[in-house]
Chain A
Amino acid sequence: MNETAAEELQAAVRELPQRLEGYREMLLANLVMIGEIPAPTFKEQARIEFVKQRFVECGLEQVSSDTAGNGLGILRGRTGRHAILLHAHADTPFPETLPHTLNVEPERVVGPGVADNALGLAAIVTLPTILDNLGISLDNDLVFMASVRSLGRGNLEGLRAFLVTTQLPLLAGLSIEGVPLGRMDYVSQATVGAEITCRVDPEHPVEAGAIPALNQVITQLRAMELPAESQTRLVLGSIAGGTSYKSPALSATLRFQLRGDADPVVDGITEQIVAICDAVARSTGVRVEFDVIARTRAGGLPDDHPLVVRTRHILEGLGIDPLPPTHSSAASVFLEQHIPSITLGVSYGAHRGEPSEYVEIAPMLKGLAQLIGVLQAIDGGCCD
């Protein structure tokens, strides 16, 4: 894409929020209808079926599920020489039993999973109609995908399975998240998400139970020296154990994530953690299990990659402040297949992961405008 074309695109994108005014209700309606279908990881099928129905109504071609269960549809480009993947994960961390009622307030939409990731999904479901109605067409094919098994133990299996098996000549990937607007994540850290469970054999109980053993593990984890130069961090995310206050716990579980810039460093520390588990098991007589939930490798696009540069210009042109890049696990999966990718957010919000999660309505049109602009930039050659 030469500078003149880039400037023309920039000018056109600046006009987009106004042209998108009439699509706010459509986006909100899709957001509510998607968000009210429970989709815990591994049980996303009802939500995927709804998304596919929407893809059919929008006139996408080859609407189907792949073997992993991802929902897919293709918008044909003028030449179809390459394809661009537009992807949003369909799963949420909330169980089916939680009421999935969303409330539309004048300034925001509130409810579990509305930001992560009903809004991201609503954006890609609304986009084909917008592109069609605004007469925006691309040279390359646009592949819309609602992916399954992304979060937690899903470990991005849906996206990974698609990228490994697809025969499509993918030029780039765009991952859409509900929040925050301004995120542009194109780097992936080395991460290991894992679970350590201390278990007491009920036939031969250890008097103190599982919790003191887990406490020893945690104490030793916190005493580990993490190399500062590789930005390595250990995040203790959640802890659970026992069933009553008056009996020793038969099991106790810690979930954590280790992250850093260098794969060898993270691998080395992971081995240290396994050794700590073994040592605590020997000294306490409690079984200590170490189980990897999810793993990503370090990498990503350089700051001066044309996709990064062009995306930043588009955001700034729309008056959106680009946020410093943070770790994107999706970027790691694209990277494994050598496909450039970037993750964008659609609006602002808060309380992510809580039933009171919300997204703001007003910024959504800018969020949609940036998606269209970045798609056009990729189509115009910034990833060739």
Chain B
Amino acid sequence: MTDIDRWLETNTYHHGQFWDLKRLIETKESKGLTVSLCIPTLNEEKTIGKEIVILKSELVDRYPLLDEIAVIDSGSTDRTLEVARSFGADTYLSAEILPEWGTRRGKGENLWKAIYQLRGDIIVYVDADIKNIHPRFVYGLVAPLVYRPEVHYVKAFYDRPLADTTGIRPSGGGRVTEILVRPLFSLFFPELTALIQPLSGEYAVRREVLERIPFPIGYGVETSHLIDVYFEWGLEAFAQTDLDRRVHRHQPTRDLGKMAFGILHTFLTRLRARGILPGLPELTPILRQFQFHDGKYEQVIHELHEEERPPMVEVPQYREKRGLPPQEG
């Protein structure tokens, strides 16, 4: 049995295995753990209300798994924050967290600032655009961290029914995963291919891991996490949970092109930094796409800067807030 097969057997869960929320909460409390939920948002007024209502009612009031629910917003121009607040979430503007560090635009920025703002020993990130939100999206990810101290990072995957009577069926991620990320992982980090959906936006992570990894602010944040955690803690630090179905917006191919560009940018930068691909030239931030307009083809140029935030543990304000000694040098 290969490492991948063994890992798949021991570290892949279905949310149904964690149905006993009373037991989960007892274990969480006996270990003195706290859990924060971070929902990064940008103009999500249509779905945010439902997420807050369900998760607060079920996982704060009924079963107190979550110690806080926070919405961290990139500057919505709709009623996202008002709706979230009205249903009981703590709401923050990303720009107002660590203002000394300025503001960058991107989901990764919100995830990074959440580490500073939130209190939990475990932070679980859930996207705001899930139409079929259910408590399993949270407890399915948090439970492996509560029960298994050696697990540090739990990823979601979707669309595999618990009882599959049809035998073999392909399981995998979306288009970007299958035509970009998994081939790249196969070439450079074969063990990471065992993660069924490496780009899923839902994951739960221990603070001591989150604070030690850098955060690309754009599309590359999930890929970079996986590589960095893998290098530092190995495959055993990961687990993944099948959350069944996830209904969300379908992205047009053109947007997936931007996503793939950002991921590839981050991936190559990681390879260079770790000495795997030395001599790589400076990477351009320009993505070129084409469209047919008024009888001719024309370029559409996107400038996509994949900036990175440093590990939070290197941020003086964070060290001060957490009572850590100042960093030397």
Contact = CB atoms under 8 A, between A and B. Distances in A.
Interface of A: 25-26, 28-30, 32-33, 36, 57, 99, 101-106
Interface string B108-137: 000000000000000000000001101000
Nearest to B51: A104
Nearest to A25: B57
Given A101-B247, A106-B79, A106-B86, A33 B49 contact: no
Interface string B43-66: 000110110011011100110000
B84 to A, nearest CB: 10
Contacts of B142: none
B290 to A, nearest CB: 35
Given A32-B53, A105-B49, A106-B49, A25 B61 contact: yes
26 contacts: A25-B56, A25-B57, A25-B87, A26-B57, A28-B53, A29-B56, A29-B57, A29-B58, A32-B50, A32-B53, A32-B54, A33-B134, A57-B62, A101-B131, A101-B132, A102-B50, A103-B46, A103-B47, A103-B50, A104-B49, A104-B50, A105-B46, A105-B83, A106-B49, A106-B82, A106-B83
Contact of A29 (B54, B86, B131, B247): B54
Given A26-B57, A29-B54, 5 more contacts: A25-B61, A26-B62, A29-B56, A103-B49, A105-B46
A25 B49 contact: no
Nearest to B47: A103
A36 B132 contact: yes
Contacts of A102: 50
Given A33-B134, A101-B131, A106-B79, A25 B50 contact: no
Interface of B: 46-47, 49-50, 53-54, 56-58, 61-62, 79, 82-83, 86-88, 131-132, 134, 247
B86 A25 contact: no
Nearest to A99: B247
A99 B247 CA distance: 10
Contacts of B57: 25-26, 28-30
A337 B56 CA distance: 43
A102 B247 CA distance: 12
Contacts of B49: 103-106
Nearest to B55: A29
Nearest to A26: B57
A26 to B, nearest CB: 5
Contacts of B79: 106
A106 B132 CA distance: 18
B20 to A, nearest CB: 12
A106 B87 CA distance: 9
B82 A25 contact: no
Nearest to A57: B62
Contacts of A105: 46, 49, 83
Q: What are the 4 A-B residue pairs with the smallest beta carbon separation, nearest first?
A: A29-B57, A104-B49, A104-B50, A25-B57
Contacts of A101: 131-132, 247
Nearest to B21: A57
A30 B47 CA distance: 17
A317 to B, nearest CB: 28
A26 B63 CA distance: 12
B62 A104 contact: no
A25 B131 contact: no
A103 B45 CA distance: 10
B107 to A, nearest CB: 23
A26 B61 contact: yes
A52 to B, nearest CB: 14
User: Which of B53, B61, B83 has the most chain A CB within a 10 Å cutoff?
Assistant: B53
A270 B226 CA distance: 71
A104 B53 contact: yes
A366 B126 CA distance: 33
Contacts of A99: 247
Contacts of A36: 132
A102 B88 CA distance: 19
Contacts of B61: 25-26
A104 B58 CA distance: 16
A106 B82 CA distance: 9
A25 B88 contact: yes
A57 to B, nearest CB: 7
User: Which of B82, B83, B132, B247 has the most chain A CB within a 10 Å cutoff?
Assistant: B132
A255 B88 CA distance: 47
Contacts of B132: 36, 101
A313 B158 CA distance: 52
Nearest to B82: A106
Nearest to B133: A32
B128 to A, nearest CB: 13
Nearest to B46: A103
Contacts of A103: 46-47, 49-50
A25 B53 contact: yes
A105 B54 CA distance: 13
A381 B104 CA distance: 66
Nearest to A105: B49
Contacts of B247: 99, 101
Contacts of B86: 106
A27 to B, nearest CB: 9
Contact of B54 (A33, A57, A106): A33
A235 B134 CA distance: 41
B311 to A, nearest CB: 36
A106 B85 CA distance: 10
A105 B134 CA distance: 17
Nearest to B19: A53
A179 to B, nearest CB: 19
A25 B86 CA distance: 10
Contacts of A26: 57, 61-62
A154 to B, nearest CB: 27
A28 B88 CA distance: 13
Contacts of B82: 106
A111 to B, nearest CB: 10
Contacts of A106: 49, 79, 82-83, 86
Nearest to A102: B50
Contacts of B58: 29
A374 B83 CA distance: 33
Nearest to B79: A106
B297 to A, nearest CB: 38
Nearest to A27: B57
B249 to A, nearest CB: 12
A235 to B, nearest CB: 36
A106 B83 CA distance: 6
